Amino acid sequence: MAEGAIRRWLGSDMGLSFRASPVAVASLAVLVLVALSALLAPLIAPQNPYDLKQVFIDKAEIPPIWMRDGEWPFLLGTDPQGRDVLSSILYGTRMSLLIGVAAVAVSMTIGVSIGLAAGFLGGWVDNLLMRIADTVLSIPTLLVAILVSAVARALLPPGLREPFAAVILVASISLTGWVQYARTVRASTMVERRKEYAQAARIIGVSSARIMRRHILPNTLTPVLVAATLNLGLAILAEATLSFLGVGMPITQPSLGALIRIGNQYLFSGVWWLVVFPAVQLGLIVLSVNLLGDWLRDALNPKLN
Amino acid sequence: MSDPIALTVQDAVCLFDVSPPFLDRVLSGARRRVLRAVDGVSFTVRRGRTLGVVGESGCGKSTLARMIVGLQPPTAGTLRLEDMPRADGSLGRPRVQMIFQDPYASLNPRWRVGDIVAEPIRELKLLQDEAAVQARVAQLLETVGLAAADAARFPHAFSGGQRQRISIARALATEADVLVCDEPTSALDVSVQAQILNLMRRLQAELGLTYILISHNLSVVRHMSDDIAIMYLGRFVETGPAEEVFAAPRHPYTRLLLETIPDVQRPNRDRQPLSGEVPSPIDPPPGCPFHPRCPQAETACREARPALEAHGGREVACFLVR
Amino acid sequence: MLRSLGRMGAAGRRGWLMGAAVALGLAAFGAMPAEAQQGKVLKWGAAREIASLDPYSFGDTFTLATLNHVYEGLVRYTGELGIEPALAESWETVSPTIWRFKLRRGVAFHGGEAFTADDVVASLQRVSHETSPLKGNLPAYKSSRKIDDHTVEIEVTGPYPLLLNDLTNIFILSKTWMEKNNALLPTDSGKGIKGYATDNANGTGPFMVESRRPDARTVFVVNPKWWDKPQHNLARIEFTPIASAATRVAAMLSGEIDFTNVAPLQDLPRLSAAPGVKVMQSSELRTVYFAMNLKDQLPNSDVKDRNPFKDVRVREALYRAIDIDAVHRRAMRGLSRNTGAIVAPAIPGYQPAQDVRLPFDLDGAKKLLADAGFPNGFGFTLNCVSDGLVNEEEFCQAVAAMWTRAGLKVTLDLAPRSQQTPKRVRGEFDVISFGWANEPMIDAYSILIQVIRSKSGTGGVFNWGDWGRADMDALIDAAGVELDRPKRIALMSEALNIIKREHLFIPMHQQPMAWAIRGNVAAMVQASDNKPRLWLTKMN
Amino acid sequence: MSDAAPLLSVRDLRVVFDTRRGRLVALDGVSFDIAPGEILGVVGESGAGKSLTGTAVIGLLEPPGRIDGGEILLEGRRIDTLPPAEMRRVRGRQIGAIFQDPLTSLHPLLTVGAQLEETIRTHLPLSRAEAKARAVALLREVGIPSAETRVSQYPHQFSGGMRQRVVIALALAAEPKLIIADEPTTALDVSIQAQITALLRRLCRQHGTGVMLVTHDMGVIAETADRVAVMYAGRLVELGPVDQVVRAPRHPYTAGLMASIPRMGAREAVLAQIEGSMPRLGAIPPGCAFSPRCPSASARCTAEVPALPPGGTGAACWHPVAEPAHV
Amino acid sequence: MLAFLIRRLLNAAGVMLTVAFLAFMIFRFVGDPVELMLNEQATQAQRDELRVRLGLDRSFPLQYLSFVTNAARGEFGISYRNQQDVIVLIAERLPATLELVLVATVLSLAIGIPLGVYTAIARNSWGAQLLQFGSVLGVSLPSFAVGILLILVFSVTLGWLPAFGRGEVVQIGWWSTGLLTPSGRMALVLPGITLSLFQITLVMRLVRAEMLETLRTDFIRFARARGLRARSVSFRHALRNCLMPVITVTGLQIGNLIAFALVTETVFQWPGMGLLFVQAVTFVDIPVMAAYLMLVSFVFVALNTLVDLAYAVVDPRLRQDSVKHG
């Protein structure tokens, strides 16, 4: 069934364009690989870096396996605590992807709902929602995220900060993230609702809610899809930046950004593998996402074909 | 002439406030500006017949169409659909549907054709049984000249003409009595246009449909209409039976319009093009709105606005017609 | 200087020379001795900014150490941490509670005002004012009086052996200057008043503040009229805070700074290996240990009906579970000094016998836990500060892992000092990492009165986890009024023995300190209090 | 048809698009001439390739489209193989163009005068002042009142009809010998259409400019053109004097097309209609592209591609309509 | 035009009031200022007195009102950490950040626009494809990683450029500039590149997209059909039409740059507002955080308003008070 769907898709215009773009194929392959390895981290990682029982400080700062003092099973070496870098990266990737995907999903859900409501209902609802969007936009995203993280950490009782760190991050990224979706969806909703098919439904007597949901929503989602893909890259970067600044994931459940922050402290001590591998992984993920997003945008842009 | 009346429109007015925002008005001392899209139009349409409404862009004909189907509430005046007999003998309000100009925008690209055509049946609960719905959809598709199997396909698989057929099938699915057709063929090629016009004529004959055909294409209107109304800046300037209006136009605008239409049958004829352009409906000229372009305009035309008056079987709004 | 210029390239060189020329030009006004005119510029890259130029605004060791270049106290520590006269020439005790100080003559403030007894009295009043954040640094102070222009008497609340130690960090400001600038009282953030002294300085010290741009650069220039004979050859100190360790190391390697007083441990090999960079490394006075909350209930533990840490077996188990050699070798990079005591050897009160650790014994630890009724361990949170002690993140993680292997369920709570301190002060912790250097007293009494003594008046300010005991309190109070040094030390040692016996704290190590200098720095004194004393620095 | 040497001569033009799904032949074997001063109407339904023909002549085909065969000669000089820089000099100077939508054809941020002057000075050795004077004169010639003030206005200050006049002025700015007019009236109101076609006709007659008038509107062709070329699925199916094609079409497609136009004169019950629709580019049937829809198609029609009769006038059909169609 | 201006200003004021509200909420409810200001030994009487002195006993709207009026006068209180007037603290660091942002903006426009035009015109060329890929790489690399890398290469390994700080600055009134000294200019290079890298690729991608869009328009086709020179078509006609989105995005991005500068400032120890803010966050220095938030939003809103006005200047269609009607 799925195979059939994939085969059908590969035969469609999109699929043809996909097959003709080695960059898109490579990006998707990298992403699938990265996502799978991150999802299966508990099964394939040599070590659980969160389980302190498995971490021996005597195994600290072992270089990658191909170097002189490399040691099995630490393929990419260990950190100053004796944590396996490869395992940390797999778990960190899991964390980064999880936060990125969740942030995109949350902002998309909020943004699409608000955009649809504003575009379809118009009038004061539209006015109010768009003024809110203006205000959110008048504070730079990064600043909002830092403030939210800082404020949330100041308000939450200490015991809740760590378990909620990821939630706080998702919330702080989504708090501004929804605006783009809202604007996109609002714009296309305003176009779509004037289109004849929507008016035909109105003439038939279909209710507004139903027109919004069944007719207009599906037709506004193409740009949302592109935006979501490109924003996934941005969200992962935002998370990394916040963690790098020290207002993101704690050291005990590090994301890629937190790993880079930790690694950065060892930049000059010869323990380069701490910063290089997470940075490469982060760059690779974001690059693949962006390349895929770029391709998707071009492929879905009728004007380019 | 003895057909019962399906639609009565009485002094329909539709105004749009196109004033600059409040602040600009205050600062620049500008007045409120009103676009008089439809400015007092009255007519009746008889059941089973076709009224053609002709005019250039911006004359208000599309607004009129939207008012009839209820997409646009009138600012003033009434639009009344007369009850008509149902199949079971009872009287009921006629159903009005609309055929749109753009066959590409009138079908939801994400829906299968079958669902598009079935939507009104399901929405209006005309049939309860899903199998019956499917059967009805198949029947409708065949009625408009498509195959029943087309129900499973998406609109993008169809050409413009076929899409217009689907639109018609959707309209028929409501068991509509009155169809408002807003430029139904102007986006189609000539050969396809003929197919659609023929289909519409056939359906009218078979189902006793009433058409209100809005178009700028005089030959299409001529071909389709029993009665005709010429619209200029929100008003009717001439109405009457199509044959008579085309044979002997009374209003200067009608005359000039007929004169400017290129005629395939008379290649390379020399003619006098209508000069000037359509004035803005926001700032219509005083008096007769046509007077700036009218070759016969007199002083009176600049001062007062002529009303639509009966002249024989027709009505004309012109001082020069007596 | 010349070396660094070589790396700057031609364009950069002109700028630096211009800067130096300006400094020299300014200095020339003061009819400088020929030697000082050829003074050198020392570029100091610190790990953080000093909080203020006002020596009474923050009880922050680093801020005070830096301001010590501008301001001076009545007495000061030598490079070997002995006490020597500074603004006071001599002193005597008139009675057990009254000290008389003879002030140095011919000393002038940077602003030109002559130094007199009025300045001392005004300064003491300012620092002991109730809004002063440094009030606690002079705990026994009662009042002061001017006898004549160069004699001052200080009265303390009771017999107090450590007044001189305290006074090393009480800097003297000019009274007329304070009066003129409405700065007689400490800065009061409550009133929303910004003190003049926050941005301006007028001391008697070897250096004067030439300019200050917070977080960018503070420039000190030599005070040509300093009363003491300079043992340095600096004309100018350019102080730049560089918070990021990596950037600081980079700046050191590239020669943009000549000196940093915080060289990251992990970068020491790289720094030592770099040409023209020298690492100065030794052990600090600061002893690091873990302290367990001994209140009736632990706030973050899964044991709710009692506090497991009240059981000495549990405390011992935690102690024995630590493989200190691994911590030393890895987390501290072999640079710390493992200790069984909670004060450093240089601190009066230290006894070698206390410095013997319990051995690392994982099975023993597990057994102790089982005996105490926790065969499956229990859960608690380890509260550590990410910007606190040397490599605190690293050793806390390492110890957390070790405790986990002993069967405990450790949650590590790592956050900046600003976030951890409030929790610690409120007693909302299970176990904390802690370090105490016994400064400025350089005496075990410091930790005893401030950390170990049960809360009472000025005592036990840092007794956040109710680990005080009546028997220790008695010993501490006795030591506080004992003027006979051997007796006093015996009292203090006894108190420390109780801690050792009861495993009230789990000692870890004296933490390493590492400075880095470039080759152009010829001599620099690094005392174990980790304070830069740049007036003892010579450059090539 | 004029006896003079052709101004434009298109021979066996073939244009293809290389797409992921393979090569699409958009124009195949298109040949026609335009004499100086002659208006050739190119008519066809959407997708027939009429606009593409104009684009190919003016050398503005964009990838993936390209000329795959045949030749285009302007006054006997081959222009389809010119390097881009030389072709640029031909455009505007020798071939002018008018596009469908006057709303979008003018640069919104430049004054009408600036656009005119730039075009003039690109091609003619005139000073700034002379170019400006010529710009005003051109505007006046295309019938824009008070041209002196209008010249410094922006396009959005003109109405649709006036804008199309500006476009015509721009096309004529360097006195080209040939104008490609691509649906010049489609976007205009009915009453304005007549003004524009009349203007175009007048100007071309005055200047002796040849015109290739591309449109789907038989009415416009009938009124304006001297000769008509009918296109279907990328091929020319009929070429002839306008009178002949309109009144007595020889190709079944042309005949059907003419018959399907509702007449002004009388109201018929049913319009003649051609069943089906034009094939997509990727699915052009072998032989005569019209054969599946043709009432008189034979086996030959599905096997062999018919060509226009020698001389280039008549219908490309194996079974042309014999009798002149009844008018 | 005047109405437009007034409307924009009202809008901006509304946004600023909302942001002020957020700042006020943070200021007021994240950590009790009384607790933060007094030390632990303070008595209840002292606390109450301070509460009154700070106006915390007054009603909520009144407190907000006084916060807003104080903010409008530039009074944000005293920093908890530095004990300095917050506005003085910020004003001291403003030039450093603005100079960095200015350099980044100029770099992004000077490099981004030509590259964007090139990649659009020569869309399928080898170089354009490479640049396009490079631009994706540019937006994919986290700026802190770029900064670290640059320091590693140019400061540590090659020793060409300083790794931190602003170098020598010259004081002109209250403005301090590093642009006038060689060391100041040297110090700007690496942070400038780090901050502008993302921006360059952003401008380049934007210009490319807009150019591709514009190059497809009828008026460009028509300009080509008139035989205008390729240079004129690309720059005079096509690029001119792309400038408005570039103005918008550049204007909006300056606000984002100021915010993003805090990452660069952290990496390069650049003594600007961002560094101040990051330190304020670590120290929970609420007055500084609130003031920074207000200031950045103000810059953002002001730029936004300017961009809208710039639109009116660039686009003749907006210059007149003509009402468009259909």
Q: pLDDT per residue over C3-14, tens digit each?
A: 333 333 333 333
Dihedral, B282, B283, B288, B294 alpha carbons, nearest 10: -110
E149-190: pLDDT as tens digits: 888 788 877 878 887 888 778 888 778 888 888 888 888 999
Instruction: Give the C-alpha separation, A63 to A269, whole Å.
Output: 12
H or E stretch covering A218: helix A217-245
State yes or no: pLDDT of A297 exceeds 90. no
Residues A122-150: what's their mean pLDDT? Answer: 83
- Going along chain B from its start, the domains and CATH numbers come out as 5-94+177-321 (3.40.50.300)
DSSP one-letter code for A213: I
Domains annotated for chain A, with CATH where assigned, are 2-304 (1.10.3720.10)
Mean pLDDT of E115-131: 88
Give contacts of E 241-260 with C, CB under 8 A: none
Confidence check: pLDDT of B167 > 50: yes
The pLDDT of C420-434, averaged and rounded, is 86
Closest CB to A279 among E145, E212, E258: E145
| Nearest residue on chain D to B225, alpha-carbon basis | D267
B18 vs E contacts (CB less than 8 Å):
323, 325
User: Which chain C residues contact residue A150 at CB under 8 A?
Assistant: none
- Cα–Cα distance list, B211 to B47, B52, B163, B217, C220 (Å): 9, 8, 19, 16, 94
D63, D100, D122 member nearest E227 (Cβ): D122
* Statement: residue C24 has pLDDT above 60: no
What lies within 8 Å, CB to CB, of D60 at 6+ separation is D91, E221, E224, E225
* pLDDT confidence of residue A99: 92
B126 touches chain A (CB under 8 A): no
- What's the pLDDT score for residue A302? 61
- Cα within 13 Å of Cα(C300), Cβ side: 25
Tokens representing residue C37 in the block = 């005119």
Residue E159 to residue C7, Cβ atoms within 8 A = yes
Which residue, among A13, A204, A224, would best test binding to B if mutated, counting the most B CBs under 10 Å from its CB? A204
What's the confidence (pLDDT) of residue C14?
37
Q: Does the CB of D21 have a partner CB in chain A at under 8 Å?
A: yes
Q: Is the pLDDT of residue C17 over 60?
A: no
pLDDT of residue E234: 86
Q: Is E30 on the interface with B (CB under 8 A)?
A: no
The per-residue pLDDT for C222 is: 93
Chains D and C make contact, 3+ CB pairs within 8 Å:
no
CA distance C219 to D126: 68
* Chain E contact for A127 (CB, 8 A cutoff): no
Please report which helix (H) or strand (E) contains residue B175, including its range.
none
Question: Average pLDDT of D298-312?
Answer: 86
pLDDT top residue among E259 and B224: B224
Q: What percent of chain B is modeled with pLDDT above 90?
A: 30
Q: Give me C82's structure tokens.
A: 């002995």
Closest partner residue to B170 (CB to CB) among A199, A200, A219 is: A200
pLDDT digits (tens, 9 = 90+) for B286-298: 888 888 888 888 8
Supply the pLDDT for residue B117.
92
CA distances from residue C403 to A58, A254, C54, C365, E201 in whole angstroms, order as listed: 15, 21, 44, 9, 50
Task: Report how far residue D177's alpha carbon sits from residue B226's, in angstroms, rounded to the nearest whole number.
Answer: 48
Beta partners for residue C526, in sequence order: C532
Least confident of B16-30, B304-318, D229-243: B16-30
Using the Cβ of C394 and the Cβ atoms of chain A, whether some distance falls under 8 Å is answered with: yes
Name the more confident of A20 and A161: A20
H helix or E strand, kind and range, residue E66: helix E60-72
B contacts of E326 (beta carbons < 8 Å): 58
Whether the CB-CB separation of A254 and A92 falls below 8 Å is answered with: yes
What pLDDT, on the 0 to 100 scale, is given for residue E325?
Answer: 34
Reduce the DSSP state of residue B53 to 3 states and report it.
strand
Q: Is the ipTM of this complex over 0.90?
A: no
CB interface of E with A, residues 44-83, below 8 Å: none
Assess contact for D260 and B194: CB atoms under 8 A: yes
Q: Does B27 touch chain E (CB under 8 A)?
A: yes
- B/e letters for B181-209, b = 16+ CB within 10 Å, e = fewer, are bbbbbebbbbbbbbbbbbbbbebbeeeeb
pLDDT in tens, B34-74: 888 898 899 999 888 999 999 888 888 889 999 999 888 99
Residue of C466, C513, C510, C506 lying closest to C289 (CA atoms): C506
pLDDT value at residue C498 = 93
CB B222 within 8 A of CB D264: yes
Q: Is E325 on the interface with B (CB under 8 A)?
A: yes
Residue C33 confidence (pLDDT) above 50: no
Q: Which residues of C fall within a CB distance of 8 Å from E266?
A: 243-244
CB contact under 8 A, B23 and E6: yes
* Pick from A216-220, D229-233, E50-54: least confident: E50-54
C414 at interface of A, judged by CB pairs closer than 8 A? yes
By Cβ distance, the residue of D109, D110, D170 closest to E226 is: D170
Rounded Cα gap, residues E258 and E268, in angstroms: 15
Q: What is the pLDDT of residue C336?
A: 92
Note whether C146 and C72 are within 8 A (CB): no
Give the pLDDT score at E326: 30
Average pLDDT over residues E85-112: 89
Class of domain C285-512 as given by CATH = alpha beta
Query: C309 near C298, Cβ under 8 Å?
Result: yes
Task: Give per-residue pLDDT as tens, A204-230.
Answer: 888 888 998 889 998 888 888 888 988
Name the band, by pLDDT with cuts 50, 70 and 90, for residue C36. very low
For range C412-423, the mean pLDDT: 79
* Mean of pLDDT over chain C: 85
Q: Is the pLDDT of residue C388 over 90?
A: no
* pTM for the structure as a whole: 0.80
Using the beta-carbon criterion (under 8 Å), do B70 and A195 form an inter-chain contact? no
Q: What's the mean pLDDT when you consider all of chain B? A: 86
Q: From chain C, pick out residues whose CB is under 8 angstroms from the CB of E162.
A: 8, 12, 251, 254, 256
Cβ(C381)–Cβ(C411) under 8 Å?
yes
Q: Which domains does chain E have, with CATH numbers?
A: 2-72 (no CATH), 86-282 (1.10.3720.10)
Q: Do B98 and A200 make contact, defined as CB atoms within 8 angstroms?
A: yes
pLDDT band for C75, please (50, 70, 90 cuts).
very high
Residues 268-297 of C with CB under 8 A from A: 268-271
Cα–Cα dist E78/E80, whole Å: 6
DSSP secondary structure letter of residue E78: B
Closest CA to C286 of C326, C229, C232, C344: C344
CB pairs under 8 A between A and D: 4
Separation CA C109–CA E45 (nearest Å): 39
Instruction: Please name the residues in contact with D317: beta carbons below 8 A apart, sequence gap of 6 or more.
Output: D237, D238, D250, D251, D252, D288, D306
Which of D197, D262, D277 faces B223 most closely, judged by CB atoms? D262
Could you state, in order of their start, the residue ranges of all structural domains in chain C?
2-258+520-539, 285-512
pLDDT, average across residues C246-269: 87
Q: How many CB pairs under 8 A join A and C?
A: 88
pLDDT tens digits for E186-206?
A: 889 999 999 998 889 889 988
The pLDDT score that the predictor gives to residue C19 is 36
Identify the pLDDT of residue B269. Answer: 64
CA distance B111 to E241: 38
E83 with C190: Cβ contact below 8 A: no
Average pLDDT on E94-101 reads 90
User: CATH assignment of C2-258+520-539?
Assistant: 3.40.190.10
> Same fold for the domain at C2-258+520-539 and the one at C285-512?
no
> pLDDT tens for residues E255-287?
888 888 888 998 888 888 888 888 888 777 778
Residue A10 contacts D, CB cutoff 8 Å = no
C372 has a pLDDT exceeding 90: yes
Q: In chain B, positions 177-206, which contact chain D (CB-CB < 8 Å)?
A: 189-195, 197-198, 201
> What is the C-alpha to C-alpha distance for residues E302 and E324, in angstroms, rounded to an integer?
28
